[in-house]
Amino acid sequence: MRALWKGAITFGLVTIPVSLYPATRREELKFRLLRAKDQSPVNYKRVAEADGKEVPWKEIVRGYEYEKGKFVVLKDEDFARVDVEATQTVDIMNFVAIEDVDPLLFYKPYYLEVSKGGDKAYVLLRDALVETGKIAIAKVVIRTKQHLAAVKPQESGLMLELMHFPKELLDVDEFKEPAEKKLGKSEMQMAKQLIQSMTTSWKPEQYNDDHHDALEKLIEEKIEHPEKKAAAPAKRRQPTNVIDLVSVLQESLQQSKKKPSANQKQGALKMKPAKTARRKKAA
């Protein structure tokens, strides 16, 4: 895999050469818009609202709408004045306890791979973070954009996780709080029993994107049998207002006891690679 970014972690006078790699991937099926009658791909044109005419790239500028229909135009030199310097460094500003940081701030992880000559300092930072129970808060520039980020120990290495700036989070006070209701002891006891009956050890291989898998299967079927009519979609269960919470909890407990355990289901959850994915790789 090609490195997304190469640079160094710096804190104090310590410099650790590293390379940055994506830690996640999103397996989404991509679709093209087509004209129905002949499956001709549909392209987009840049059209001006004022007269409906197509606008070439050389005539396009970027503008900020400060009032309805009023814009201030920013040129390349304007953006250059405020661009942060791409220093190729993860500049650690301070260290904090991870439990003090709102989990909502974290949103995108990357692997930090040590580069030549940095092993000892890399291991030192990793182990020091583990022993102190701290994470490093840093700023990093990736593709001209500055990000807030955390450096965390992850198994035998270090992880860089991009963060939202705190002011980007919506205040929870903006949302309606539930009305406080007096809970009966029996309701709480059954809720605890239901949670206990559904509690398993964490096995990440159990979790799949069911929609993605079903969509791949459907595409493969349509490729192999284009004339076959699609089955009617299953009726969705409509949500209802919970009136008798005790009876609903009792029914849920009975159903959870009938279901196979996570260990029994594990064998069934191991799925073969979808044919659609194999077809693409072969191409």
Band of pLDDT at residue 260, cut at 50, 70 and 90: low
Whether the predicted pLDDT of 278 surpasses 50: no
**Model pLDDT for residues 219-231, shown as the tens digit of each residue:** 888 888 888 877 7
Among candidate residues 133, 142, 143, the one with its CA nearest the CA of residue 91: 142
Q: Using pLDDT thresholds of 50, 70 and 90, give the confidence band for residue 117.
A: very high
Mean pLDDT computed over 244-265: 70
Q: Which of 70-74, 144-148, 238-242 has the lowest mean pLDDT?
A: 238-242
Q: What's the whole-number average pLDDT of the chain?
A: 84
Question: pTM of the prediction?
Answer: 0.71
Bridge partners (DSSP) listed for residue 112? 20, 158
Task: Compare 66 and 263 and report the one with higher pLDDT.
Answer: 66
Classified as helix, coil or strand, 171 is coil
- What average pLDDT does the segment 141-166 reach? 93
Packing angle of the helix pair 185-197, 245-258 (nearest 10 deg) = 20
Kind and range of the H or E run holding 158 = strand 157-163
Domains and CATH numbers, the chain: 5-24+83-168 (2.40.290.10), 185-199+206-228+245-277 (no CATH)
Is residue 108 within 8 A of residue 119, CB to CB? The reply is no
